[in-house]
Structure 1
Amino acid sequence: FLDCPTLACSAERQQAPDKTAATGVVYERLLFRHWDRWQDGARTHLFVQSLDGGAPVDVSAGLDGDVVAAPFAGAGDIVFSPDGQSIVFAARLATHDEAWSTNYDLYRAPVNASAPPVNLTAANTAMDIRPVFSPDGGTLAYLATATPGYESDRRVIVLKDLASGATRPLTAAWDRSVDDLAFLPAGNILIALARDTGQRALWAISLRSGAATRLTGAGTVHGFDLVKNQIVYSRSDLGAPADLYGTRANGSRHRRVTAVNETALRDIALAAFEPFSFAGWAGETVHGYVMKPARFAEGEKYPVVFLIHGGPQSSFANVWHDRWNVQALAAAGYGVVFVDFHGSTGYGQSFTDSIAGDWGGKPLEDWRRGLDAALAQFPWLDGARVCAIGGSYGGYAVNWIAGQWPDRFACLINHAGVFDLRAMAYTTDELWFTEHDFAGPYYAQPALYERFNPALYVEKWQTPMLVIHGGKDFRVPATQGLATFTALQRRGIASRLLYFPDEGHHIGQPANALVWHRAVLDWLARWLKPDKPQ
């Protein structure tokens, strides 16, 4: 709490029992709730504790905002200077526009909190994150976007000379968005993490030219660390959960370091998968994957799960996902098809940007063409038994498909999906998502919101649907799922609602995750009726 002089004061206030029977809370500005919790006035601040003892000091004192920003930022947005005398961190202030601003800034403060933090990136009103010092401490590298209010804008590596204050965009000519970075000991190369065509790879970036050299192949690198000129990284793909790997900084001598799940997976049949591509909207190339059932037999036909990713600026990539695990669907006897439709990441910024103002346009064309292409290329897929499933934007897609493509699917599954874009615009927590993609708030662009509003096409719905939602979901509020189920029931369409009162946008509790998977597999089996359940 900002008015508490010590951590003990904040802890005492949070733990103190309520001395009144009243429960009302007054708010005077957004963001009054975020992700899965209501704001209580407390802020996350950054404290430094000396190993020699003494009281921790708040190096972010005076900032009204979370350090680092909630709910997903972490230690990667905090870095000590090489001499240990200062610390740089990312923060987003709780100003009046907090709910529609992506203005994350980098602040520098002495580790003893002897001076207030100084904003190093005030000139940029978009996002500045992931700071790293050069080995000599003279340069700060970080990631920056250029468009205020657009979280999925391309993240460019920027170099800041800490003596002069001059900045230089290093990767402005590279049409990929960087997720993380670190200096090699010599200080002339940055190791970066970035998506590329369904993969997430490590790259070596020259500080002289900005040229990017790819260091890893297929699969998804989740994170990495440097030990001198060696890189240790975590990697997975659609056929294998994450393990640690190592390589030299020049990309040579790749080797696997761990086999954490080797025993657990020894007797499990894992499904084969392969990439494919097709001409999507306007003939532009769209990429995707097809996964066979785990115990595939030549000459057999298999029902199909058509998986649609959320975001929408995201990717269903070559990754072992802990929630949307494609192997779990393949193990139940299904072929799985998923495509990175227009709006996905890892294919250049214009491809990502193309979904803005067009949530139900280009993507729908890609889904139509992608499913047709997969059925033509992989004849073992049974086009008469297909179910579409998606979460978040993917859940929106399911609702949109229900009204725009009502005769194609045997069933639908909607997790945390948008039903009514007008209600979504006024009840979601982070307004920048909708306000960027629909060119402003609802009251300024009602026609654009309503153009792709699933709620307007309920009279065309006819496909059985499973609806899943969490009661603590403030990104896509639970009323969106309840409204979807109400519309289905009122239309007399076979439907089922699975509601988790204690979950948010994601299902995080293991017991609830089991319930989720059982419900999904039961719905698929009911409508697709695999010939040989596995």
Structure 2
Amino acid sequence: MTNLNRALTVEDLTKIAVYSDPQFAPNGESYAFVSTTVNDEKEYQSQIFIQSTTTEPQQWTFGHDKNSHPRYSPDGKSIVFQSTRSGTPQIWLVPVNGGEARQITFFKHGAVNPEWSKDGNYIIFTAELNALDNVQDQKEQSKEERQHEKDQKAQEPIVIDRLKHKSDAKGFHDHKRAQLVLFNIEEKSFKQLTSNNTDHGYEDISPDGNLVLFSANLDDDADYQHTNDLFLLNISTKEVTKLTDGKGAYGNASFSPSGDKIACFGHEYAYSGATLSELFIFDAVTKERACLSESIDLQLGDVMIGDTRMGQSSAGPVWSKNEDKLYLIATDFGATGLYQADLNGNIDVLYKDNNHVFGFTYDDNTDTFILGISTPTNPCNYYLLKNSELTRLTNANAQLLDEVSLADPETITVTAEDGWEIQGWLLHPYGYEEKEKYPLILEIHGGPHAMYGQTFFHELQLLAAKGYVVLYTNPRGSHGYGQDFVDACRTDYGGSDYTDLMTAVDYALDNYDFIDKDRLGVTGGSYGGFMTNWIVGHTNRFKAAVTQRSISNWLSFYGVSDIGYFFTDWELGESRLNNPAKLWEFSPLKYVDNVETPLLIVHGEQDLRCPIEQGEQLFIALKHLKKEVEFVRFPGANHELSRSGNPAMRMERLNHICGWFERYL
């Protein structure tokens, strides 16, 4: 087989433009979006583009800054956005017909996620504030002042008095909380809307501009809970009304065009962290609730896993103009699509193919959608969907895609030991020739409640480019196949999920004679790292393994992870305090004596989700036993290393992974 194009490389990761956050202009004739790239300094930058539905995209922001979250004013004359151009994320305003952007916030700790009131008189945004901060006299710090404060903090002890005192995304928590702030356009004044000692998430504002819909946990015992309620805040009186009942997690909420109803996603943890989201409608006055999705076994929202998705995009629900329909993304059988729900609970597909709809925007005047779509061989593009016809609007990454050869995945269906069907995919190696034998690498996703599927995944394509057959599957515990399936791995880690994976490997060996059964590799991150550790402790059929940001010891994970104190109970059915012996049974560290597979351990030093001590314990145990093991630590990297980590470190990580498999396969 002759390849006309070159093989994909590690460095190509820095050449990919990633699109996100499409936003229709009020006239429905153009839209704004964000493009994130890696600049010459190997740092991320994000720029805002505007495109009419009949012309090429036009870049609106420039430089090495991060410009994002563009939102058109209701009259279409201005765009508000957030930018780091002053050194801290702040809110900026720019006229659509040309002119310089104007900075409107100078908050000490920044301001993010601006949204307009329906009449265009206000902008509401989120700011990190201390209890005594005054929004009227905020002063942005200089670069030198920020560095001085950082140096001071580095010399001070951290006092911890909360159970929830850290998170992988933010690090160790301080006394700042995410508060909602209103900016009056005409008066150029600020008004702090919330002040509770908790983080607040903006959801929407009522059409009459009187009520702000936000999400938070205002319970006194919030530190011990995982609920997220919806609240209505009266802007004039600051009176807060609780909309939900404190039993679940709700979000993605929005008012209907009349303001009479509120739609949202949510659930009440019936299956802990494996619970499918539902679509709810609330009466804005009576607070009565109806579930529109109770008759379908479908995961609402986008839970597709990839390593090139950056920036948020709407998954819905979005109201139709007449309030009789809601539009949303849903996840199903390795793909995501655009769906339509009516108020009687009927849900229909508006668009779905073998790809990944990662976001959309809707214009109610023309009944038109713009969809962001990724495929296994194309990172992203925008498409116009009107009257069921799909028209491509952008040609992102054209130069790179013309240069490289990418593998189209072959979908497989594997019958598990107990008869369940497991979906998976196989990538052929670059330069594939019949009658040749090729090594295979099994990739295992994290979560475990997530989904591999029909989206672009640089790491998978890279391994195929290096000459490997790449096998990736959705074993039980994955999303996309209904509630029973996603719940099936809980309390059974290393059980049927493990045999699902091994059955998939056996299927590949039985059905593809070009795979060399004596050259098998395995890798995965997070839960996929746990499963990699589990595999090498229970079989020696793999000749090389790479475990990434993994779990090796559930006993210590309970106390060191930002989620450990509840995750072990949710997923394993036991906590360290109740049944430590059972947690040890689930721990790969227990089985290190069995490991004969050369193992590379890859871990970020600032990972607070699966802390680096998990990798350290595994390395020391294996090294003490004189096993073939190597440990690669990434300074400053958290759990997101492979997805949104420092670009140079992401490439170095891939070099180590490829080097390990090259050495042993």
In the alignment, what sits opposite 1:414?
547
Gaps of 5+ in 1: 69-76, 529-534
Amino acid in the other structure paired with 1:227? D
Secondary structure of 1:485's counterpart equals helix
1:347 aligns with 2:475: no
Higher relative strand content: 2
TM-score (norm 2): 0.73
Q: 1:367 aligns with which of 492, 501, 512?
A: 501
1:231 aligns with 2:373: no
1:193 aligns with 2:329: yes
In the alignment, what sits opposite 2:562?
429
Preserved CA contact (<8 Å) 2:295 2:345: no
Preserved CA contact (<8 Å) 2:131 2:176: no
1:104 aligns with 2:228: yes
- 1:524 deviation in Å? 1.0
- 1:65 deviation in Å? 1.4
Deviations 1:188-243 (A, max 9, x none): 11111111011111111121233333522111111111012111111112121111
In the alignment, what sits opposite 1:532?
none
- 1:95 deviation in Å? 5.0
Deviations 1:158-202 (A, max 9, x none): 100112211100101111121232112121111111110111111
- 1:149 deviation in Å? 8.4
Which piece of structure 1 moves more, 124-133 or 465-474? 124-133
Preserved CA contact (<8 Å) 2:537 2:588: yes
In the alignment, what sits opposite 1:120?
243
Amino acid in the other structure paired with 1:512? M
In the alignment, what sits opposite 1:525?
662
Preserved CA contact (<8 Å) 1:106 1:120: yes
In the alignment, what sits opposite 2:319?
183
- Aligned pair count reads 511
In the alignment, what sits opposite 2:380?
242
Given the superposition, is the C-alpha separation of residues 432 and 221 from structure 1 closer, same or farther in structure 2, using an over 3 Å criterion? Answer: farther
1:326 aligns with 2:448: no
Secondary structure of 1:408's counterpart equals coil
In the alignment, what sits opposite 2:427?
291
1:90 aligns with 2:215: yes
Amino acid in the other structure paired with 2:237? S
Given the superposition, is the C-alpha separation of residues 94 and 64 from structure 1 closer, same or farther in structure 2, using an over 3 Å criterion? Answer: farther
TM-score (norm 1): 0.91
Q: Report matched runs for 1:201-220 at 5 Å.
A: 201-220=337-356
- Report the Cα distance in structure 2 between the residues aligned to 1:362 and 1:310, rounded to whole angstroms: 16
- Report the Cα distance in structure 2 between the residues aligned to 1:51 and 1:25, rounded to whole angstroms: 39
Secondary structure of 2:464's counterpart equals helix
Secondary structure of 1:518's counterpart equals helix
- 1:21 deviation in Å? 9.3
Secondary structure of 1:426's counterpart equals helix
1:54 aligns with 2:192: no
Preserved CA contact (<8 Å) 1:150 1:432: no
In the alignment, what sits opposite 1:306?
442
Percent of counterpart pairs with the same letter? 25
Preserved CA contact (<8 Å) 1:64 1:94: no
- 1:113 deviation in Å? 5.6
Amino acid in the other structure paired with 2:373? R
Preserved CA contact (<8 Å) 1:238 1:326: no
- 1:5 deviation in Å? 3.6
- Report the Cα distance in structure 1 between the residues aligned to 2:241 and 2:288, rounded to whole angstroms: 16
Q: 2:646 aligns with which of 502, 509, 519?
A: 509
Q: 2:413 aligns with which of 266, 277, 286?
A: 277
Preserved CA contact (<8 Å) 2:228 2:246: no
RMSD of equivalent CA atoms:
2.2
In the alignment, what sits opposite 1:28?
161
Which piece of structure 1 moves more, 13-22 or 476-485? 13-22
Which piece of structure 1 moves more, 218-227 or 439-448? 439-448
Secondary structure of 1:147's counterpart equals coil
Preserved CA contact (<8 Å) 1:127 1:148: no
Preserved CA contact (<8 Å) 1:234 1:243: yes
Which piece of structure 1 moves more, 232-241 or 347-356? 232-241
Amino acid in the other structure paired with 2:472? F
In the alignment, what sits opposite 1:377?
511
Gaps of 5+ in 2: 1-128, 302-314
1:6 aligns with 2:129: no
Secondary structure of 1:266's counterpart equals helix
- Report the Cα distance in structure 2 between the residues aligned to 1:414 and 1:269, rounded to whole angstroms: 27
In the alignment, what sits opposite 1:73?
none
Secondary structure of 2:537's counterpart equals helix
